C-alpha cells in the first residue's frame, strides 16, 4: 500500500472533517486556518472523521487496490485539496507540516516514519502537481480507470499502434515430443534483503518494517525476530537468502534464472541513493557468487529507486532525473547481458535477449505502468516508447518463427498498473498470442496468476505471479522452478509444469534447522492435463464450485504460511478469483 495514497486518504478525511466542524460551529464564526503553532485544531477536526468515513474500510480497499465509490471520493477530494494548496501558493513546508500532523494524529505510523516519508516525497509531489494539467477527476481516472472517471486528455488516453501484418492463425500448442529436452528455469521474486535484520530484535515494532537493529531488543520472547526470518513486517535476513541459494545449487539443475524485481528492504521512509545502489550491487553479487555460470535475467522492481515508486520519464532531467539508476542497473546486471540488451537497459531499463535460437526473453520496466509512480500524471503516453518497442520485438519474433517469454515486476492486471498501459499491453499480448508462450511477474508476494482472454471469452495467455523470497506480509520464503519445453527445432517453449518450494519459518526458527521443501507441483496438485490457458481457466471454474480445492489453492497462495488468517470465503473468495481473471487492470469483465 502506497504512502502517497495513505496521505491522500488523510487529506480527504481532513477535508470532510473540516466540513463537519464548520457545520457544528454554532456561533457563526468561521474556523480559522490551522497554523504550525496550533496544537488543538487537528485533533478536534479529526474527532469527526469516523462519523464521515470508515477509515478502516478505506485502508482495506487500498490494500487490495479496490476501486469503489468511496475510493473515488477519497481520490478526488484529496487531489482537489492538494491542488488547492498548490494553486494558492501555500508554502511547501506548511503543507508538509499539515501532512505530518495528519499522519501523526491518525497514527498511520510512528512519528519517525511519518517524518521520513514526508521529507522524502514532498519535493517530488510539489513538482508534479505544479505541472500537471489534469484536474482531480482526471487524475483519479488515470490512476483508477473509467470506473472512477473517464479521461479525455490525449496524454492519458492513448493507443499503441500494433502492426500492419495480419494476425496469423492461432497455433495449437502440442505436447512436446517424447524424450524432448526440458529447460529448468528458476524464478526468484521480491528478494527484499534486509542487511540490518537482527535475530532477537523487536518484530512487533508497530512500524512499516521491523526486526532491525534500530528497533532494539524485543520486550518479550514472543516479540523477538526469529533467526531465519519472521512473519511480521520483516524482510529477508542475509543468512536466509544465502542458505536458499546454496540449497538450490545443491539440489537442482538450473539452466537460467528469472529475477523479477524488488531488491531493497521495505524501509521506504529511510531510503537514500547510496543505500539503494549498495543493496542493488550487493544482492546482484550474491546471486552471481552462489549461482556460478548460470545466466540471470533480472527485471526492475518498484522499490529500486531512491524514492519507492519514483521513476520519472527519461526526458526528465536535472534534480529528478532517474539516469543514475539506469547506469547502476546496467553496471550491476551487465555481466549477464549482451551489449545490445545493455543499450536498451541503460536507456529505459528494459531489454531483450535470445535464450536459444528459438526463444527470446523480454524484460519490461513495469514502473511505467505503476499507478503509484505519479510522474505518469505529467504524461503517461507509452513512456520511453517501451510498448512500441515491445510490438517491434514481438513482430520480429513472429516473422522469425521464434517464441517469446516476458518478465516484469508489477503484473499487468494488478491494481497497481495504470489502466491505459494495461489495456494496451493486453491488446499486444492477444495480437501475438501464438508468439508469447510465457509471462512471469512478482510484486504481490503471493503465489497466483492472471488469465488473458480474447474474443468470446477464449483464454489466450497466462501471466504467472511468482511467490516472494521475503516473508513480508506473513508468508514463507519461497522460490519456483518452471519446466519449459526445451531447446530443439520444434520446441513449443511452453510451460509444462512448475514446482514451488518453501521454508517453514516456524520450524526453522524453533529448531534452528532450515529445510526447503517442495510445496506442490501445479499439474499434480490440481490434476491438470497441461498448463495451457484453457486448462487454467477450467481450474478457476472448478475453484468456484469446489471449495476444498479452492482452499487448497489459498494455502499455496500464502506459501503454506503459519501466519493466522481468516478463512477465505464469500467476498474474499470472489475477489481472489476475480483477481486471476483480470489481466487488464481495473476491469472485471471476465469475473462473472
**DSSP sequence for 253-320:** --SEEEE-S--S-S-TTS--HHHHHHHHHHHHHHHHHHSTT--EEE---TTSSSSTT----TT--GGG
Average pLDDT taken over every residue of the chain: 88
- 265-274 pLDDT, tens digit per residue, is 999 999 999 9
Query: How far apart are alpha carbons 111 and 206 in whole angstroms?
Result: 11
Q: DSSP readout, 54-91? A: -HHHHHHHHHHT---HHHHHHHHHHHHHHHHHHHTT--
Joined together, the cell numbers standing for residue 477 give 520464503
Query: How far apart are alpha carbons 416 and 273 in whole angstroms?
Result: 24
410, 269 Cβ separation under 8 angstroms: no
125: pLDDT strictly greater than 90: no
Label residue 421 exposed, middle or buried (CB < 10 Å: 0-12, 13-18, 19+). Answer: buried
Query: What are the residues facing 319 on neighbouring strands?
Result: none
Terminal CA-CA length for the chain: 27
20: pLDDT strictly greater than 60: no
For residue 365, say whether it is annotated as part of any ligand binding site.
no
- 377-390 pLDDT, tens digit per residue, is 999 999 999 999 99
∠ CA 1-552-438 to the nearest 5 degrees?
Answer: 65
Residues in the chain: 592
Sign of CA dihedral 414, 420, 425, 428: positive
Joined together, the cell numbers standing for residue 105 give 494524529
For residue 252, say whether it is annotated as part of any ligand binding site.
no
325, 381 Cβ separation under 8 angstroms: no
C-alpha to C-alpha distances, 211 to 133, 205, 223, 233, nearest whole angstrom: 43, 8, 9, 8
245: pLDDT strictly greater than 90: yes
Sequence-distant (≥ 6) Cβ neighbours of residue 70 within 8 angstroms = 53, 54, 57, 58, 61
Between helix 533-545 and helix 547-557 the angle, nearest 10°, is: 110
What 8-state DSSP symbol labels residue 156?
A: T
Sequence-distant (≥ 6) Cβ neighbours of residue 5 within 8 angstroms = 62, 372
- Overall average pLDDT of the 516-523 stretch: 98
Joined together, the cell numbers standing for residue 363 give 524484460
For residue 25, say whether it is annotated as part of any ligand binding site.
no
359: pLDDT strictly greater than 50: yes
Q: Is 245 helix (H, G, I), strand (E, B) or coil?
A: helix
- 180-230 pLDDT, tens digit per residue, is 999 999 999 999 999 999 999 999 998 999 999 999 999 999 999 999 999
- Give the pLDDT of residue 61: 56
Tell me the pLDDT band of 2, cut-offs 50, 70 and 90.
low
Query: What are the residues facing 19 on neighbouring strands?
Result: none
- Give the pLDDT of residue 26: 42
For residue 303, say whether it is annotated as part of any ligand binding site.
no
- Give the pLDDT of residue 58: 54
Query: What are the residues facing 451 on neighbouring strands?
Result: 462
- Overall average pLDDT of the 73-98 stretch: 82
Classify 206 in phi/psi space as left (phi over 0), alpha (psi -120 to 50) or beta.
Answer: left
For residue 392, say whether it is annotated as part of any ligand binding site.
no
- Give the pLDDT of residue 37: 41
Tell me the pLDDT band of 472, cut-offs 50, 70 and 90.
very high
Between helix 136-144 and helix 419-431 the angle, nearest 10°, is: 40
Between helix 273-290 and helix 323-333 the angle, nearest 10°, is: 20
Name the pTM for this structure: 0.90
- 141-164 pLDDT, tens digit per residue, is 887 777 788 888 889 999 999 999
451: pLDDT strictly greater than 70: yes
Between helix 339-348 and helix 323-333 the angle, nearest 10°, is: 150
Query: How far apart are alpha carbons 322 and 330 in whole angstroms?
Result: 13
For residue 416, say whether it is annotated as part of any ligand binding site.
no
- Kindly give the residue spans of alpha helices, DSSP state H, lying in 111-151: 111-131, 136-144
Strand ordering across the sheet containing 359-363: 351-356, 359-363, 403-407, 436-441, 459-465, 448-453
Nearest to residue 138, comparing CAs of 350, 299, 377? 377
SS (H, E, C) 174-218: CCCCCCCCEEEEEEECCCCECCCECCCEECCCCCCCCCEHHHCEC
- 374-428 pLDDT, tens digit per residue, is 999 999 999 999 999 999 999 999 999 999 999 999 999 999 999 999 999 999 9
Query: How far apart are alpha carbons 267 and 264 in whole angstroms?
Result: 8
For residue 247, say whether it is annotated as part of any ligand binding site.
no
Joined together, the cell numbers standing for residue 542 give 472448478
Nearest to residue 231, comparing CAs of 444, 476, 468, 467? 476
Amino acid at each position: 500500500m502506497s504512502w502517497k495514497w495513505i496521505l491522500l486518504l488523510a487529506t480527504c478525511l481532513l477535508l470532510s472533517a473540516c466540513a463537519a466542524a464548520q457545520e457544528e460551529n454554532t456561533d457563526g464564526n468561521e474556523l480559522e486556518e490551522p497554523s504550525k503553532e496550533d496544537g488543538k485544531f487537528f485533533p478536534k477536526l479529526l474527532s469527526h472523521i469516523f462519523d464521515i468515513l470508515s477509515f478502516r474500510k478505506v485502508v482495506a480497499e487500498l490494500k487490495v487496490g479496490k476501486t469503489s465509490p468511496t475510493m473515488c471520493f477519497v481520490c478526488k477530494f484529496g487531489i482537489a485539496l492538494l491542488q488547492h494548496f498548490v494553486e494558492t501558493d501555500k508554502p511547501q513546508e506548511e503543507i508538509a507540516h499539515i501532512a505530518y500532523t495528519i499522519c501523526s494524529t491518525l497514527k498511520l505510523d510512528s512519528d519517525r516514519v511519518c517524518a521520513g516519508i514526508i521529507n522524502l516525497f514532498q519535493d517530488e509531489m510539489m513538482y508534479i502537481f505544479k505541472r500537471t494539467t489534469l484536474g482531480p477527476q482526471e487524475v483519479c481516472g488515470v490512476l483508477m480507470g473509467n470506473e472512477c472517471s473517464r479521461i479525455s486528455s490525449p496524454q492519458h488516453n492513448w493507443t499503441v499502434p500494433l502492426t500492419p501484418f495480419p494476425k496469423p492463425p492461432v497455433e495449437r500448442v502440442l505436447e512436446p515430443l517424447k524424450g524432448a529436452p526440458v529447460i529448468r528455469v528458476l524464478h526468484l521474486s521480491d528478494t527484499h534483503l534486509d542487511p540490518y535484520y537482527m535475530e532477537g530484535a523487536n518484530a512487533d515494532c508497530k512500524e512499516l518494517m521491523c526486526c532491525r537493529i534500530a528497533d532494539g531488543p524485543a520486550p518479550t520472547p514472543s516479540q523477538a525476530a526469529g533467526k531465519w526470518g519472521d512473519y511480521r513486517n520483516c524482510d529477508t535476513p542475509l543468512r536466509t537468502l544465502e542458505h536458499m541459494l546454496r540449497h538450490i545449487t545443491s539440489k537442482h539443475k538450473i539452466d537460467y534464472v528469472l529475477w523479477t524485481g524488488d531488491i531493497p528492504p521495505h524501509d521506504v521512509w529511510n531510503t537514500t541513493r547510496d543505500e539503494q545502489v549498495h543493496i542493488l550491487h550487493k544482492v546482484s553479487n550474491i546471486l552471481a557468487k552462489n549461482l556460478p555460470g548460470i545466466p540471470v535475467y533480472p527485471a526492475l522492481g518498484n522499490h529500486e529507486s531512491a524514492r519507492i515508486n519514483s521513476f520519472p520519464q527519461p526526458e526528465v532531467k536535472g534534480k529528478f532525473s532517474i539516469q543514475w539508476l539506469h547506469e547502476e542497473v546496467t553496471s550491476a546486471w551487465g555481466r549477464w547481458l549482451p551489449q545490445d540488451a545493455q543499450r536498451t537497459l541503460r536507456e529505459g531499463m528494459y531489454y531483450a535477449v535470445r535464450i536459444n535460437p528459438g526463444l527470446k526473453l523480454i524484460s519490461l520496466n513495469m514502473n511505467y505502468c505503476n499507478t503509484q509512480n505519479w510522474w505518469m500524471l505529467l504524461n503517461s503516453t507509452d513512456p520511453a516508447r517501451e510498448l512500441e518497442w515491445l510490438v517491434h520485438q514481438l513482430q520480429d519474433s513472429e516473422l522469425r518463427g521464434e517464441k517469446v517469454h516476458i518478465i516484469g515486476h508489477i503484473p499487468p492486471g494488478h491494481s497497481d498498473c495504470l489502466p491505459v498501459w494495461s489495456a494496451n499491453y493486453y491488446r499486444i499480448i492477444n495480437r501475438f498470442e501464438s508468439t508469447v508462450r510465457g509471462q512471469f511477474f512478482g510484486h504481490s508476494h503471493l503465489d497466483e496468476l492472471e488469465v488473458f482472454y480474447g474474443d468470446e471469452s477464449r483464454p489466450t495467455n497466462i501471466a504467472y505471479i511468482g511467490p516472494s523470497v521475503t516473508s513480508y506480509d506473513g508468508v514463507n520464503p519461497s522460490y519456483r522452478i518452471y519446466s519449459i519445453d526445451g531447446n530443439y527445432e520444434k520446441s513449443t517453449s511452453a510451460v509444462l509444469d512448475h514446482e514451488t518450494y518453501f521454508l517453514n519459518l516456524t520450524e526453522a526458527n524453533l529448531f534452528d534447522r532450515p529445510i526447503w521443501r517442495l510445496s506442490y507441483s501445479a499439474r499434480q496438485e490440481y490434476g491438470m492435463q497441461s498448463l495451457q490457458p484453457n486448462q487454467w481457466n477450467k481450474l478457476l471454474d472448478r475453484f468456484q464450485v469446489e471449495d476444498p480445492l479452492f482452499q487448497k489453492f489459498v494455502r499455496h497462495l500464502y506459501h503454506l504460511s503459519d501466519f493466522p488468517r481468516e478463512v477465505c470465503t464469500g467476498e474474499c473468495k470472489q475477489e481472489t478469483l476475480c483477481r486471476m481473471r483480470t489481466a487488464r487492470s481495473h476491469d472485471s469483465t471476465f469475473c462473472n
